[in-house]
Amino acid sequence: MTMSIMRGFVVAMVVIFSVLLSLNNPRGESERAFLSASSSAQEPLVNLVSLASSDGGQDFVTEEMSDGVQSDLEYDFYRETCPEAETIVRSTMAQIYSQQKNVSAQLLRLFFHDCFIQGCDASVLLDDSNGNKNHSIEKQAVPNKTLKGFENVDLIKEVLENVCPGVVSCADILALATRDGIVLADGPFYPVFTGRRDSTMSYHDEALAEIPKPDDNITQTLHLFSVRGFSDRETVSLLGAHNIGKIGCEFIQARLNNFKGTGKPDPTVSPSFLKEMRFVCDDNGTRSSQKSPAPGPTRGLMRERSSGLRGMPYFQQLSSSVPSGRGFDTHYYQSLLKGRGLLFADQQLMANERTARLVRAYASDDGSTFRMDFARAMMKMSKLKAANGSPGQVRVDCSLPLQTS
Ligand SMILES: *[C@@H]1O[C@H](CO)[C@@H](O)[C@H](O)[C@H]1NC(C)=O
Ligand SMILES: *[C@@H]1O[C@H](CO)[C@@H](O)[C@H](O)[C@H]1NC(C)=O
Ligand SMILES: *[C@@H]1O[C@H](CO)[C@@H](O)[C@H](O)[C@H]1NC(C)=O
Ligand SMILES: *[C@@H]1O[C@H](CO)[C@@H](O)[C@H](O)[C@H]1NC(C)=O
Ligand SMILES: *[C@@H]1O[C@H](CO)[C@@H](O)[C@H](O)[C@H]1NC(C)=O
């Protein structure tokens, strides 16, 4: 039994590596990053095997065949129609990143929210859904307008429109830019296939119901990821995206004084950690908007804007005791081991035996195991497909559907 799981795992790894290695990179800019990702990925095999046999190696074998995966994507889809497309995305991202390191985390979150709802179709970027003035769009549902980075996608799109008008979809731009942002933040490289089409619709109600929430318990989190075809192991690795960026105070505040309507703090937070989180995040919505807020909807908005800039990172602040080399290593998992998860949903990974075992495994090496799993889970996520079979379009403005007349 264990032997066959291990054999399945080894076969799957060989297949995956040969797929990865056979992809020829037309321009070679990312080759170095890719090579370093694959060579470091070979080191922790012992860890991986123990992870695989404890978590059920069959996840690896079946994942490429699961439903809801876009099979019509190609490597370098724009090689004829816009050969410079991927280079342009990469160099524009490098420019943005040099000014604004937080772009990587912003796009990663945008991309996740996009792919989770009806596939990676740039539906999350829409301001208006084909004349639907209902405001029933994902942007406004997805945890309360706290997504950021739209302007960076628009900037990349603008550069591309100047070179090859109307060719490169916003969905592909987001997928490529997210990957490039991860690499810039010293995360792992993974190949991104292209040829996505942009949706004409946005899906507010699905976003509200199906995006995992910061205060979800482990059962809910695993369920919502499994609906999208992710195994427990892939779920735990994807949450490792929290290694970079800040967790907004608006999500942390919910644990500080009135957790889930109890009128008390989240009982799973230690007193000393609660104090730290309160120091950064507990202003009862008033500290940074000093003036007495206007009544009505503006009030909520002001609070959101001001608190939107504050937050706590896993990287550095939480783990000064952990030697830190790069953004994408084991900070997140080390923090969870210490009970210092910033979101309830993060810390819940320790409340389930299987996910806790994965957290311990990811925290136990130099980050290589996590990085390889994360890269593979991101490849899988970037292929999530809309169920509605609509042909889609290539938007010119990423926030507006094309008027089809
Ligand atoms: C992102 O970084 C830029 C510059 O480094 C900063 O001005 C901006 O406030 C940051 N945004 C957020 C949401 O933290
Ligand atoms: C407004 O939203 C409701 C439910 O979300 C939907 O049934 C209705 O068709 C929408 N209105 C327009 C004009 O699309
Ligand atoms: C914020 O999100 C919650 C559910 O996550 C929803 O009930 C609420 O209406 C949203 N608020 C706004 C202002 O969008
Ligand atoms: C998780 O949350 C769901 C929905 O609130 C609840 O039904 C379930 O009992 C919770 N599970 C645990 C283990 O707390
Ligand atoms: C925030 O409100 C809670 C309960 O209302 C109170 O105990 C706490 O002292 C307040 N914190 C600040 C910083 O005002």
Taking only the tens place, the pLDDT of each residue in 172-218 is 999 999 999 999 999 999 999 999 999 887 877 777 778 898 999 99
User: E strand or H helix at 138, and its extent?
Assistant: helix 138-141
Does 230 reside within a domain?
Answer: yes
Looking at residue 352, its pLDDT comes to: 96
Asked if 70 and 131 sit in the same domain, the reply is yes
User: Is the model's pTM score more than 0.85?
Assistant: no
Q: Which atom of ligand 3 is nearest to the CA of 300?
A: 13
Cβ–Cβ under 8 Å, residues 233 and 205: no
pLDDT single digits (tens) 299-351: 333 333 344 578 888 875 555 555 444 578 898 999 999 999 999 999 999 99
Do 155 and 294 fall within a single domain?
A: no
Ligand 2 mean position, distance from CA 132 (Å) = 7
Residue 388 belongs to a domain: no
Instruction: Indicate if 278 and 164 belong to the same structural domain.
Output: no
Determine the residue type at 142. Answer: V
* 389 found inside a domain: no
Number of domains in the chain: 2
Asked, for residue 396, whether it belongs to a domain, the answer is no
* Residue 113 a catalytic site member: yes
Residues 190 and 332 in one domain: no
- For 186: left if phi > 0, alpha if psi spans -120 to 50, otherwise beta; the answer is left
The per-residue pLDDT for 129 is: 53
For residues 25 and 143, state if they share a domain.
Answer: yes
Are 202 and 279 in a shared domain? no
pLDDT surpasses 90 at 111: yes
> Has residue 399 been placed in a domain?
no
Domain-embedded: residue 64: yes
The residue from 113, 204, 223, 331 that is catalytic is 113
- Domain containing 181 equals 2-241+377-381
Q: How much distance in Å is there from the Cα of 284 to the middle of ligand 5?
A: 6
Ligand 5 atom closest to Cα of 286?
Answer: 14
* Binding-site annotation, residues: 114, 119, 121, 123, 138, 212, 242, 329
In this structure, are 62 and 155 located in the same domain?
yes
What CATH code is carried by the domain that includes residue 110?
Answer: 1.10.520.10
Q: Is residue 400 part of a domain?
A: no
The mean pLDDT value for 33-46 works out to 39
Partners of 247 in the β-ladder: 312
Note the ligand closest to the C-alpha atom of 207.
3
Q: Are 361 and 51 in contact (CB under 8 A)?
A: yes
Q: Are residues 341 and 301 in the same domain?
A: yes
**Residue whose CA is at the smallest distance from ligand 3 atom 8:** 144
How much is the mean pLDDT over the chain?
77
Q: How far is the CA of 134 from the centre of ligand 2 (A)?
A: 6
Asked, for residue 299, whether it belongs to a domain, the answer is: yes
Max mean pLDDT among 16-25, 33-42, 347-356 falls in: 347-356
Q: Who's near 348: CB < 8 A, 6+ residues apart?
A: 216, 217, 218, 221, 341
With beta carbons less than 8 A apart as the criterion, state whether 160 and 89 touch.
yes
